[in-house]
Amino acid sequence: MDGFDPEQYDVDFLDRGGTVHDFIDNKIKELSLGCSEPFHVANLDNLVKKYVIWCNNLPRVKPFYAVKCNDTPTVIGVLSALGTGFDCASKAEIQLALSLGVTPDRIIYAHTIKAESHIKYARTHGVQMMTFDNQEELSKIARCHARAKLVLRITVDDSKAVRRLNTKFGASLDSAGRLLQRAGELGLDVVGVSFHVGCQCTDSRAYRQAIADARQVFNIASLMGFQLSLLDIGGGFSGNENFKVKFEEVAATINLALDDFFPVGCGVQIIAEPGRYYVESAFTLAVNVIAKKVIMEEAEGVPDRVMMYYVNDGVYGSLSFLINDPTSAEGSERRYRSVIWGPTCDSLDKLTDSCLLPELQVGEWLLMDNTGAYTVCLATDFNGFEKAHVYSVVTPETCVFLISPTAECLCFSHFHSECVFIHSHSLFFVYFSVSRVCISTCSCCF
């Protein structure tokens, strides 16, 4: 594993015993003296903790982090120091990984639809491994990168996923033989099979069936003279610790399937493409209440107030893919039905319209946890609103490990105890403090 240089990424150290929320409180106090722009805080301890959990539960599966999920350079740097590979889907993502010291052999160009110029860029910079699922892609690769190591992506059952992918990507099992034949005719080197069970898969059995399907393709390839040596089990792993299917359950199902269909010693390397698994719970977003309206409505003949709050980040910024699952606040304060709007002039820029919150004042802050996946990377500057800045924090103990990582340092108990985080499964979990309201957020759709 490579070392991590915190100075390169402008990382802040948490005081001994301090938490992410302590850092946020201090940052809010600083911002109160000037501007009040939204910001993310990335908890690098949480990121490392997820890496350790992965290693403990899926020891045979090498992770290739999906850069598209969150391309914050600090995230790439930490995961690179830990020895992960990287799933890149474009020239720009490959450029980013290479610029941060990732070697080409640790990159898979995991997009079945690629521009020829991007394929040539991968060839020029030594990226060999890439996916395909159709004959036209094989023809492009033959023209642009004839020595590539190819991975055939197949369609699998993704009906249990929050967001399905296989209508757009993947070759059917029936067409796998024809694609392998065409690759052979073009003199291309097919080395493996990949699949994706869809984003945030809610049934661990989907992985078992997909691995069984991949075994069929391996058998077909063997009969055709191909010696496949790689299985890529894709992504679909939730990063929210309160997701309905626990990661440990998914891992146990995968391990049993691998033992049955790709046992130890079979000569096949197993990799995966986790994205949100690593970053979802590592990020907290802080937004400021910049405006407020009070609307009078009648409920069962009784007049009541509906609060409308406007915050400085929204669906055109960090929160473009939300699954709203509102909940009420705990505590003794009276709560009101609240509508939360983003800052832009678009009426579609709404975060929720059915959340029960204590009355907030302009200038107070809302904290949203579980905002590491498909937030930073999808933000725009529509209407001229700036994207939320990312601050990264780490404990001294974890930083020492990242600077000089060794396998012996991978102690789960340390990272488990050092990571302090809000856990939630719904859009708004709330508690009051002097300067902020904490709301537990989003599961983004990807």
- Between β-strands 302-311 and 283-299, what pairing exists: parallel, antiparallel or unpaired? antiparallel
pLDDT band at 415 (very low <50, low <70, confident <90, very high): very low
With a CB cutoff of 8 Å and minimum separation 6, the contacts of 33 are none
pLDDT at residue 162 greater than cutoff 70: no
Mean pLDDT to the nearest integer, 132-147 = 97
Tokens of 117: 């110029």
Integer Cα distance of 295 and 297 in angstroms? 6
If DSSP codes are grouped into helix, strand and coil, which group holds residue 161? strand
Superfamily of domain 44-278: Alanine racemase (3.20.20.10)
**Mean pLDDT within 363-370:** 91
Core vs surface per residue 53-66: b (16+ CB within 10 A) or e: bbbebbeebbbbbb
Does the pLDDT of residue 439 top 60, yes or no?
no
Instruction: Report the SS3 class of residue 302.
Output: strand
Spatial separation of the C-alpha atoms in residues 342 and 349, rounded to whole Å = 5
Lowest model confidence (mean pLDDT) among 15-19, 41-45, 46-50, 175-179: 15-19
**Does residue 383 register a pLDDT over 70?**
yes
The angle that helices 247-261 and 44-57 make with each other, rounded to 10 degrees, is: 40
CATH of region 6-42+281-440: 2.40.37.10
Which residues, at least 6 apart from 353, have a Cβ–Cβ distance to it below 8 Å?
339, 340
Question: Is 88 among the catalytic positions?
Answer: no
What are the domain boundaries of the chain?
Answer: 6-42+281-440, 44-278
Phi, psi of 201 (to 5 degrees): -65, 130
* 171 pLDDT more than 70: yes
pLDDT for position 274: 95
Share of the chain above pLDDT 70, in %: 82
d(CA 382, CA 373): 20
In the predicted model, what is the mean pLDDT of residues 238-247? 79
Active-site residue, selected from the candidate residues 35, 69, 88, 345: 345
